[in-house]
Amino acid sequence: MPGFRLEQGALVCDGVPLSAIAAAVGTPAHVYSGAVIDERYRALDRALAGVPHRLHYAIKANSTLGVVRRLRALGSQADVNSGGELEVALRAGFAPDQIVFTGVGKTRAELKRAIGAGVAAINAESPTEVDRIERLAAAQGVVARVAVRINPDIDAGGHRHISTGHHATKFGMSVADATRMLRDMARRPWLHIVGLHLHIGSQITRIDPFVRAAETLVALARSLADEGIRVEHLDLGGGLGIAYESGQEILAVEDYARAVIDATRETGLTVLVEPGRWIVGPAGVVVTEVVDLKSQADGSRFIVVDAGMTDLLRPALYDAWHRIEPVAPREGELIRADVVGPVCETSDTLGRDRRLPPVEVGDLLAVRDTGAYGAVMASNYNRRPTAVEVLVAEGAWRVVRRRQTVDDILQWDE
């Protein structure tokens, strides 16, 4: 059975005991289930079968090469948000024409590399960026494939830090501004307009923002076509949410796909989606060891673990909630405690006021659903080395990113 489950009283990943992995590689450790990645990628691909589509996995969610290569082998294409992620995609074996490149503030060096490589689309965000792309394309004698990122002014809900489709955010351009710019772009020989793009936010759990976003792109594609400006694809971005809490209401992937298909089918255009979290989020856990148990005078209790905000930033950054459970739950009355890391910040709290089976120093805990925006957001704050990453696949596990050492970190200091 794929995924994380209790077998004989202990958590396993695709049948491999997490305790065995921790004993071999130490903690904290990110552990990924290859089978869950496969299953979720295929489910989304199947759900979209009713429309010509391409899945461009959002590398920002988890950019570890072993994970990215697995997605490529499944047939995925790639969405990158920086020059670094572009190199990850190329090294993972994606052909340039399988890569779309998004981002506010792409540098000249990043644009030059993307144009030279011949990526499938550079999602442009402003007239001045388009000017830069044109000059760089002309200098290289290459026609750049450009899409335009629309800001549809949709509030998709969710945490304000991950909401990107509202007019007051820095992302994309209004339909009116984009239309003017596209008319102008259509006259420039070094630019080939390939598509329209948007991404309205992440961890979206309602259907209507997706529907309105898709309808906005479809309407714009139609009005452009009336003027003789034809695009090849509509890129609807990522954003599909997952259930971090058991019982949390989310969108079924089939409902999401049906809405996308219904909104876009009549255009005959290829639909691109850029899923990140939905594919890899539930495919990862952080395994961490309890290093201390502590009570304060006011009765507050703390389970201090060796993973902190440097390994999983989401709780500190977004107040995100992740399930936390013992790898081998003990019998006994539930305890109430905050699960905190070792970093010198009060925000270094992985879980507040949790009810857990009794734990002792040396026990292992698993923080669930950390496959997306987990390891990628790691930092060396407090000079803490980044954690090891392990992929379980085909019944065996292997390290896909080794644990940093303090020497690794210090090698950059002059």
Ligand X SMILES: Cc1ncc(COP(=O)(O)O)c(C=O)c1O
150 phi, psi to nearest 5 deg: -95, 145
The least distance separating ligand X from the CB of residue 281, rounded to whole angstroms, comes to 8
Residue 344 falls in the annotated catalytic set: yes
CB 374, min distance to ligand X, A: 12
Tell me how far apart the alpha carbons of residues 225 and 20 are, in angstroms, rounded to a whole number. 58
Between the two ends of the chain, the Cα-to-Cα distance in Å is 50
Instruction: Look at residue 268 and give its three-state secondary structure.
Output: coil
Tokens for 22? 């921790």
Q: 1, 176, 297, 344: which one is catalytic?
A: 344
In the complex, the smallest distance separating the C-beta of residue 16 from ligand X, rounded to whole angstroms, is 26
CA distances (Å), origin 12, targets 2, 16, 33, 165, 248? 9, 5, 10, 38, 23
Kindly tell me which of 25 and 37 has the beta carbon lying closer to ligand X: 37
Judged by DSSP in three states, 132 sits in: helix
Question: CB–CB of 155/209 below 8 Å?
Answer: yes
Q: Which is nearer to ligand X, 76 or 202 (CB)?
A: 202
Considering the complex, what minimum distance in angstroms separates the CB of residue 413 from ligand X? Answer: 32
What is the β-pairing status of strands 270-273 and 233-235?
A: parallel
User: In the complex with ligand X, which residue's Cβ is closer, 66 or 158?
Assistant: 158
**What are φ and ψ of residue 311, in 5° steps?**
-100, -30
CB of 70 to ligand X, least distance (A): 17
Q: Toward ligand X, which CB reaches closer, 105 or 395?
A: 105
Report the DSSP beta bridge partners of residue 298.
Answer: none
* Shortest distance in whole angstroms from residue 279 CB to ligand X: 8
Query: Which CB sits closer to ligand X, 125 or 289?
Result: 125
Ordered DSSP codes for 44-83: HHHHTTTS-EEEEEEGGG---HHHHHHHHHHT-EEEESSH
Binding site for ligand X (CB under 6 A): 58, 60-61, 79, 102, 199, 202, 237-240, 274-278, 372
Nearest distance, CB of residue 372 and ligand X, angstroms: 6
305/378 with CB nearer ligand X: 378
Q: How is 6-36 classified by DSSP, letter by letter?
A: EETTEEEETTEEHHHHHHHH-SSEEEEEHHH
Q: What does the chain come to in residues?
A: 414
With both helix axes pointing from N to C terminus, report the angle between 208-226 and 175-185 in degrees, rounded to the nearest 10. Answer: 40
- Which of residues 94 and 278 has its CB atom nearest to ligand X in the complex? 278
What whole-number distance in Å separates Cα of residue 340 and Cα of residue 342?
A: 7
Catalytic center residues: 344
